[in-house]
Amino acid sequence: MNIEGDRLETFLAGRVTVVHGDLTRQSVDAIVNAANSSLLGGGGVDGAIHHAGGPEILAACREIRRTQYPQGLPTGEAVITTGGQLPARFVIHTVGPVKGAHGEEDPVYLASCYRRSLEVARENGLRSIAFPAISTGIFGYPREEAAVVASRTIAEFLASDGTITEVRLVFFSRSDAEAFLQNQVFPAQG
Ligand code: APR
């Protein structure tokens, strides 16, 4: 595996790449953090990002809490901070749904995480973005269902967007990447 991981598959004429690797190693404009509403760090990919990116990221998150979201970042919303010491220039923090916490609305909130993160990237003139499998770890979202929501939402966004040239879906485990590839619903390659 090279430093940015193994490219397993591409979709949408190469605009989307599925990678088996470490999100914190991705050299893209922004990586997406599967945060919690406090924005003050946690385990999983959140912990890895703060550990690798350093204290600047947490300081920026604290400032966002102070100035924009004193009650915490709502599920499905997204905000952007510096990438600190990461290879990525920025981190886009989003809060995925805890499976079962929103009843039938879980997929709606998960789709919002992907859509709002892509919108924030576009609003900031970014060209490349890398996602983890939001909510499929500590938040317990089944990875098969999440794959359908993520791929459908990303495809819908890219169909009407010309600015974002690269979306990476980065899976820490090979089995998670395989589960995604088995369940994704990207349009068939032309
Ligand atoms: N690179 C890529 N993917 C990773 C990495 C990494 N370095 N570390 C973990 N992952 C994967 C997990 O294996 C999982 O598939 O990211 C996916 C999301 O898992 P979590 O990080 O547990 O995120 P989530 O399920 O959204 O739960 C969020 O966990 O870390 C806390 O503060 C966070 O409370 C929040 C909750």
Chain Cα centroid distance, residue 123? 16
The per-residue b/e assignment along 102-135, b for 16 or more CB within 10 angstroms, e otherwise, is eeeebbebbbbbbbbbbebbbeeebebbbbbbbb
Task: Decide if pLDDT at 3 tops 90.
Answer: no
Q: How far apart are CA 146 and CA 42, in angstroms?
A: 21
The whole-number average pLDDT for the span 92-111 is 96
The whole-number average pLDDT for the span 91-99 is 98
Query: For the chain, which domains are there?
Result: 6-183 (3.40.220.10)
User: pLDDT, tens digit, for every residue of 121-153?
Assistant: 999 999 999 999 999 999 999 999 999 999 999
For residue 189, the model assigns a pLDDT of: 78
Chain Cα centroid distance, residue 156? 16
Ligand 1: atom nearest CA of 173 is: 13
For residue 134, the model assigns a pLDDT of: 98
For residue 190, the model assigns a pLDDT of: 58
Identity (one letter) of the amino acid at 135?
Answer: S
pLDDT band at 1 (very low <50, low <70, confident <90, very high): low
The Cβ of residue 61 has, within 10 Å, a number of other Cβ atoms equal to: 24
Q: Which of 184, 163, 171, 143 is nearest to 4 (CA)?
A: 171
Task: Tell me what the pLDDT averaged over the chain comes to.
Answer: 97
**β-bridge partners, 131:** 169
Task: Decide if pLDDT at 86 tops 80.
Answer: yes
Q: How far apart are CA 25 and CA 77, in angstroms?
A: 24
pLDDT > 90 in the chain, percent: 96
Catalytic amino acids?
46
Ligand 1 centroid to 37 CA: how many Å?
14
For residue 160, the model assigns a pLDDT of: 95
Which residues contact ligand 1 via a Cβ below 6 A? 22-24, 34-36, 42-48, 96, 132-139, 170, 172, 176
User: pLDDT, tens digit, for every residue of 4-39?
Assistant: 899 999 999 999 999 999 999 999 999 999 999 999
Both tokens of 12, joined, read: 């949408």
For residue 103, the model assigns a pLDDT of: 87
Q: In what order do the strands lie in the sheet with 6-11?
A: 6-11, 16-20, 166-171, 128-131, 30-35, 90-95, 78-82
What's the pTM value of the predicted model, to 2 decimals? 0.98
Nearest residue by C-alpha to atom 35 in ligand 1: 36
